[in-house]
Chains A and B, each alone.
Chain A
Amino acid sequence: MTTAGRADQPDQPDQPDQPDQPDQADQPDQCSYTLSVNGQEHELRGAWMGESLLYVLRNRLGLPGAKNACEQGECGSCSVLVDGELVCSCLVLAATAGGREIVTVEGLGAGERFTDVQVAFTETGAVQCGFCTPGLIVTVHDLLERNPRPSELEIREAISGNLCRCTGYGRILEAVETVRDARLAAASRAAPVAAGATRQEGAG
């Protein structure tokens, strides 16, 4: 049984501004647990145990990439990967996510470098107000990991849980298709080399 332990001396580094959440100053249920986010361990202390992962990422860990819009799993703007599964972080109880590997949009690229998906979004004009963009970027990375050759319908189904109210999706589809085609082209350029290497190994 894993029970998120009660901190002996719960510290209060910040009092996040979320009117919906109970006042956390004098509550007995301030506990500690550990989250692994983008490969880094974070000790959460003095946190209310009912907090969503989205709230903890944004307000306690300073990772604002996942956006807070609907808080009911409808909009997808808070999408993250938990143990490699695409989920809405607003629907994950943070205190139950200990021992699981969480990846947010901040953890997708190498440092400050954009990923190919992010580059394609900016170059095709798939970003307008930008609010839905981080969630879509995580979703598109997940899609192309699972299905390197998605059809337009498969792309539409994959992003159906990410609401965008600016673009009308045309340029988002174009961005995804651009990355898909570029990755496939790169893979086919690499393939003959790999095959040759295998043959050489066999000959050796």
Chain B
Amino acid sequence: MNLFVETLGFGIVSGCVIALGAVGFSVQFGISNVLNVAYGTFLTLAAYLGYLLNVEHFNQWLSVVVVGMAIAVLSVVYNRLLPGRLMRRGAGFVTTLIATVWAGIGMLYVIVVIAGPTARTYQVDNGRTLTFAAFVLTTSQLVVIGAALALMFAYHLLLTQTQLGKAMRATSVNPVVARSCGIPVSRVIDAAWFISGLLCGMSGVVLALTTVTFGSTLGTTFLIYMIAAAVFGGIGQPYGAMVGGLVVGLATQLVGAYSSPAYEDVAAFVILTAMLLVRPRGLFGTAATRSLRLAGG
């Protein structure tokens, strides 16, 4: 029983890290209809930027925010230069997707040329190990859980309680109608890419803080989990991505605890495949409008 409860705790931590990135990935798609596979490269870039601050003994949590902001700005620039431009010129979904794949590869090569092929290790302050109700977590892991939940709640408030949120939902439903209603669609899309970049940057650093050691394949490795989480919950749906992240995190940890750890990944993808077979639109997916998808309703 203890092992089960402890594993739940570890699964929640893993799930929160995955969910953070999965929500960002989902937001990009939900608002701009772009499946940005270069997202993984931005995760890697965030980890390296975080590392640069880490070696300078920058506060690890402050570096999460700073790198998040930097990636947010880069994300907007990237969208304006590539996916957004392609979409404006009438490129289709698949064309844009392929463009993001190759942009991701190109940027990753640049990162590797600069950073080198060897793994980097963060100097991490995990804080104290706390035990309560059979949960064994460090204060650092509690901060990760708290921050992830707070960010997701903040995103919920943004979507449901603010003018920007309403504008984002309207844009996602029909950009043409939104524009004719006076909504500055291009600015709204910029805002969406900024928010998703922020989440991406933050999750990249949190990922590296969690794994401690990382290499250039960090983003690509975890993008697969994030895609799994996003698809599980219903791609384009932030709440779905949150739940998907937790499911993937819990599944991998439970399999690690009770079966051969070598099958952790397999378990996550078996669940994903089963979900797609039973409910291809994902857990939260409906035939409803994209605004509902965004609002999670």
Verify that A and B bind, or say they do not.
Answer: no
